[in-house]
């Protein structure tokens, strides 16, 4: 159902973006580009094969915005909301689907959970849009209509970690403007934390000892990765004349912080990504692959998966019989899920990188960056997306779709049924390493 819901949204978006009215010139967009853009919007990625501002008309831009919002909230979450409004009650199947999409651990109060998700999303987007509109109107002297339109578009794109921008150079024109960069970065972080974490923090942010394992791992690792990413990227690019070199000290740290936040699957860029040095590109690869929080609008393998495997490694090094986070024991099923997600993700990125190397003449750095960006639904690019051959674009489209739903979800959806085994085989240990 989840795979089918997202596929249906991509199909509808493709049809709408293929209409002549969706482009500035009135000509039909090539099918591959329409499918790519629709998938990128629904999967809240942000990779583009055509210039968003120059190619699409207002109708096309609004279509992309609606697809971003639908993909961010989740097709099944919107379907659950519709069921609540129409029938005033939830059936068990609908509640189960909503539970899968929102990653809630309890089935109680699903109607309230879905309502809070929608209201919270719209509230954050409205606040960020209001701030951006005021900045565009008063500081940058833009007309009222254009300020409101750009503010709403970028607010929705930022909260949903999509990275679509109405500027041909994304946000490079605001590289040293904290009044634009910081509200967008805040929306990205809040959207990427995940709805369960946000709701738990709202209820008990003063009592960190009572936080769940999910919230502890998400908050701690998000903070650590943001700081490390800022330091590494800023240090690596500090003297690069094509990125941070021309900026003053405060502008450099702002741009480095913004790049660190956007690497967590947002996709906006305030510096030229293609001009970054190999060290910062590698750091960005790592940050993109890890991604944001579970059940949020971010992609990647998620910080909870990465953090859980770190605790598994720590427990194994200490010879502990089980994995503990704080005063909680993590079940083995969670550990196997985390391991499966990481291995499937690594395999998917490696396979896609190999095929892109075969299909194109670009370097390994560029191709690997593009593959991770698509799979982790980030949207950052070294500038090669639009120049890829049709087969390469199709490959990235598949990567975005699989990356948004999650390797484990897709694998489960492809299985016809669960297989129950009513016996256990004799145990035999093997040499590892």
Task: Please count the other Cβ atoms lying within 10 Å of the Cβ belonging to residue 169.
Answer: 13
Q: Is the pLDDT of residue 90 over 80?
A: no
Res 321: pLDDT: 82
Q: Is the pLDDT of residue 164 over 70?
A: yes
8 A C-beta contact, residue 157 and residue 68: yes
Q: How many residues does the chain have?
A: 433
Q: Is the pLDDT of residue 334 over 70?
A: yes
Is 160 part of a structural domain of the chain?
A: yes
Is 24 part of a structural domain of the chain?
A: yes
Res 413: pLDDT: 57
How many Cα atoms occupy the beta-carbon half-sphere of 260 within 13 Å?
23
Is 326 part of a structural domain of the chain?
A: yes
Q: Is the pLDDT of residue 421 over 80?
A: no
> How far, in Å, are 116, 138, 150, 247 from residue 254 at the CA level?
32, 22, 22, 10
Q: Which is it for the CA torsion 359, 363, 368, 373, positive or negative?
A: negative
Is 419 part of a structural domain of the chain?
A: no
Q: Is the pLDDT of residue 88 over 70?
A: no
Give the pLDDT confidence of 183-224 residue by residue, as tens digits.
999 999 999 887 778 888 888 877 887 788 888 888 999 999
Q: Is the pLDDT of residue 368 over 70?
A: yes
Is 133 part of a structural domain of the chain?
A: yes
Range of lowest pLDDT (95-99, 239-243, 353-357): 95-99
Is 425 part of a structural domain of the chain?
A: no
Is 233 part of a structural domain of the chain?
A: yes
8 A C-beta contact, residue 343 and residue 411: no
How far apart are the C-alpha atoms of 281 and 316, rounded to whole Å?
31
Question: Residue 177, Cα to own-chain centre: how many angstroms?
Answer: 24
Is 422 part of a structural domain of the chain?
A: no
pTM for this prediction: 0.89
Quote the number of domains for the chain. 1
| Structural domain of 273 | 2-414
């Amino acid at each position: 159902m989840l795979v089918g819901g997202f596929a249906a949204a991509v199909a509808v978006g493709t049809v709408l973006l293929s209409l002549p009215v969706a482009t500035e010139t009135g000509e039909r967009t090539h099918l591959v580009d329409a499918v790519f853009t629709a998938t990128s919007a629904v999967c809240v990625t942000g990779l583009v094969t055509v210039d968003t501002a120059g190619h699409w008309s207002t109708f096309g831009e609004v279509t992309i915005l609606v697809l971003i919002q639908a993909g961010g909230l989740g097709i099944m979450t919107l379907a659950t909301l519709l069921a609540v409004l129409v029938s005033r009650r939830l059936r068990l199947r609908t509640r189960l689907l909503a539970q899968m999409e929102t990653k809630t651990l309890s089935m109680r109060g699903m109607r309230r959970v879905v309502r809070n998700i929608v209201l919270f999303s719209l509230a954050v987007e409205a606040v960020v849009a209001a701030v951006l509109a005021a900045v565009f109107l008063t500081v940058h002297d833009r007309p009222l209509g254009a300020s409101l339109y750009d503010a709403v578009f970028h607010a929705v794109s930022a909260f949903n970690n999509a990275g679509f921008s109405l500027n041909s150079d994304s946000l490079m024109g605001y590289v040293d403007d904290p009044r634009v960069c910081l509200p967008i970065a805040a929306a990205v972080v809040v959207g990427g934390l995940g709805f369960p974490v946000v709701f738990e923090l709202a209820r008990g942010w003063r009592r960190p000892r009572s936080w769940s394992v999910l919230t502890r791992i998400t908050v701690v690792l998000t903070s650590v990765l943001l700081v490390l990413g800022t330091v590494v990227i800023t240090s690596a690019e500090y003297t690069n004349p094509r990125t941070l070199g021309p900026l003053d000290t405060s502008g450099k740290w702002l741009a480095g912080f913004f790049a660190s936040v956007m690497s967590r699957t947002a996709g906006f860029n305030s510096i030229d990504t293609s001009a970054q040095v190999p060290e910062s590109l590698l750091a960005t690869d790592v940050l993109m692959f890890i991604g944001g929080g579970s059940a949020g609008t971010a992609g990647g393998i998620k910080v909870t998966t990465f953090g859980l495997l770190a605790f598994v490694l720590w427990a194994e090094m200490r010879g502990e019989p089980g994995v503990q986070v704080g005063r909680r024991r993590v079940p083995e099923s969670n550990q196997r899920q985390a391991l499966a997600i990481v291995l499937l993700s690594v395999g998917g990125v490696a396979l896609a990188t190999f095929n892109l190397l075969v299909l194109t003449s670009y370097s390994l750095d560029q191709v690997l960056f593009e593959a991770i960006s698509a799979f982790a639904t980030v949207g950052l690019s070294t500038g090669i997306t639009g120049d890829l051959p049709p087969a390469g674009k199709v490959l990235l489209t598949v990567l975005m779709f699989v990356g948004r739903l999650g390797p484990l979800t897709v694998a489960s959806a492809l299985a016809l049924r669960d297989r129950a085994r009513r016996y256990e085989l004799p145990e035999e240990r093997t040499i590892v390493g």
